[in-house]
Structure 1
Amino acid sequence: MTTASTATAPLVNNPLMHYGPRMLQRSAAGAEEIEYRRISLCPLTTHIGAEVTGVDLSSPVDDELARELRAALLEWKVLFFRGQEAMTPSAHRALVDVWGAPEANPFFPQGDSVEVSRLAKDEITFGHENIWHSDHSFMAAPALGAVLRAVEVPPAGGDTMWTDMYAVYDNLPEGLKERIEGSSAVHDWEPSWGTTMTPAQIIALRQRLPIVEHPVVVRHPRTGRKLLYVNEPFTIRIAGLPEDESRALLCELVLQARIPEYQVRFRWQPGSVAIWDNIATQHYAINDYFPQRRVMERISIAGVPLS
Structure 2
Amino acid sequence: MIITPQRGAKMGVEVSELDALAAPEEELSDLKNLVYTSKILVLKGQDLSPADYVEFGRRLGEVETYYQPMYHHPEHKEIFVSSNKKEGGMQIGVPKTGKFWHHDYSFMPRPFGLTLIYPQVIPQGQRGTLFIDLEKAYEQLPAKLRKEMADSWVVNSVRRYFKIRPSDVYRPVSEILAEIEEETPEVRHPAVFPHPVTGRPVLYISEAVSHRLEDAEGNPLRDGLLTEVLEAVGQLDTSFTHDNIHLQSFEQGDLLMWDNRSLVHRALHTPNPEPTVSHRVTVHDDHEFYPGIERQLTAAGR
TM over 0.5: yes
Say if 1:158 and 1:294, in contact at 8 Å, map to a contact too: no
Say if 1:146 and 1:277, in contact at 8 Å, map to a contact too: yes
Single out whichever of 42-51 and 152-161 deviates more from structure 2. 42-51
AA aligned opposite 1:96: G
Taking only the aligned residue pairs, the percentage that are identical comes to 22
Closer/same/farther in 2, CA of residues 102 and 157 from structure 1, 3 Å limit: same
Equivalent positions of 1:102-251 (< 5 A) are 102-107=63-68, 109-111=71-73, 112-122=75-85, 126-193=95-162, 198-239=173-214, 240-241=219-220, 245-246=222-223, 248-251=224-227
Q: TM-score, normalised by structure 1?
A: 0.78
Single out whichever of 161-170 and 215-224 deviates more from structure 2. 215-224
AA aligned opposite 1:144: G
Q: Secondary structure at the match of 1:41?
A: strand
CA drift at 1:285? 0.6
Please list the CA deviations of residues 189-237 of structure 1 after superposition, one character each: whole Å capped at 9, or x if unmatched. 1121166664334433433422111111121233332011110010011
Structure number with larger C-alpha Rg: 1
Correspondence for 2:300: none
CA RMSD of aligned residues (A): 2.4
CA drift at 1:270? 2.1
**1:63 equivalent among 8, 17, 25:** 25
Closer/same/farther in 2, CA of residues 289 and 63 from structure 1, 3 Å limit: farther
Structure 2 residues not aligned, in runs of 5+: 236-240, 292-302
Equivalent positions of 1:82-121 (< 5 A) are 82-84=44-46, 86-107=47-68, 109-111=71-73, 112-121=75-84
Please list the CA deviations of residues 89-139 of structure 1 after superposition, one character each: whole Å capped at 9, or x if unmatched. 122112223432111222451002121111112599741422211111111
AA aligned opposite 1:241: P
Say if 1:122 and 1:290, in contact at 8 Å, map to a contact too: no
AA aligned opposite 1:105: Y
Closer/same/farther in 2, CA of residues 257 and 140 from structure 1, 3 Å limit: farther
Correspondence for 2:265: 283
Q: Secondary structure at the match of 1:232?
A: coil
Correspondence for 2:248: 266
Q: Secondary structure at the match of 2:243?
A: helix
Give the Cα–Cα distance (whole angstroms) in 1 for the partners of residues 7 and 108 of structure 2.
Answer: 31
Aligned length: 265
Q: Secondary structure at the match of 1:138?
A: coil
Q: TM-score, normalised by structure 2?
A: 0.79
